[in-house]
Amino acid sequence: MNMNQVIYCSKTRKGNTRRLAAAVAGAIGERPQDISEAGEVRGVDTLFIGASVYAGKINPKLREFLEGIGAGEVKQAVVFGSAAGEKSARDEIAEILAPNGITVSEKYFLCKGSFLLSNKGRPNADDLAKAEAFASEIIG
Ligand SMILES: Cc1cc2nc3c(=O)[nH]c(=O)nc-3n(C[C@H](O)[C@H](O)[C@H](O)COP(=O)(O)O)c2cc1C
């Protein structure tokens, strides 16, 4: 029995990362957990991490949460998120988790996220469907 978990951190009122997290979690039969409510991460096979970038960086609250994950508690982490541009949070998260011995998959999901007047309505239904397909493929 695989133990998978979906955590996320959304910053804007639109909740773009939260909406992606709902799609990812739904696809693998889990419930998305906001990091402000998530319990400890323990004994997880695949940890999906929903993260977007703000001025090129993940939210400091998410950084803190990730730093608190114990060594060996996660077999693999997989990052998903959205951005106004092209930048995934994957590499920053890989650096944060490396000292804890947690590998972050090279595969990540990224779509456009609405920001000010750009990317209106994104993630849209198509983005959410792609996020679901991505999650299903990772879990296999
Ligand atoms: C303060 C702020 C800074 C941002 N900086 C960037 C950025 O540097 N690069 C980028 O691609 N998107 C940037 N964005 C866009 C967000 O990554 C995008 O809107 C994302 O979908 C927000 O997800 P959320 O609704 O879950 O917070 C920024 C958004 C905000 C609000």
- Identify the band that residue 2 occupies on the pLDDT scale cut at 50, 70 and 90: confident
Residue 124 lies in domain: 4-139
Would you say the CB of residue 56 lies under 6 angstroms from ligand 1?
yes
What total number of domains does the chain contain?
Answer: 1
pLDDT per residue over 92-131, tens digit each?
Answer: 999 999 999 999 999 999 999 999 999 999 999 999 999 9
Q: Specify the pLDDT at position 88.
A: 97
pLDDT per residue over 22-81, tens digit each?
Answer: 999 999 999 999 999 998 999 999 999 999 999 999 999 999 999 999 999 999 999 999
Q: Specify the pLDDT at position 39.
A: 87
> Ligand 1 centre from 54 Cα, in Å?
5
Would you say the CB of residue 49 lies under 6 angstroms from ligand 1?
no
Q: Specify the pLDDT at position 135.
A: 98
Using CA positions, which residue lies closest to atom 23 of ligand 1?
A: 16
CATH number at residue 126: 3.40.50.360
1, pLDDT greater than 80:
no
Does the global pTM surpass 0.75?
A: yes
| 30-33, Cβ contacts within 8 angstroms, sequence gap of 24 or more | 30/4, 30/5, 30/6, 31/6, 32/6, 32/7, 32/8, 33/5, 33/6, 33/7, 33/8
- Substitution site in 17, 18, 49, 52 for ligand 1 pocket (most atoms within 8 Å of beta carbon): 52
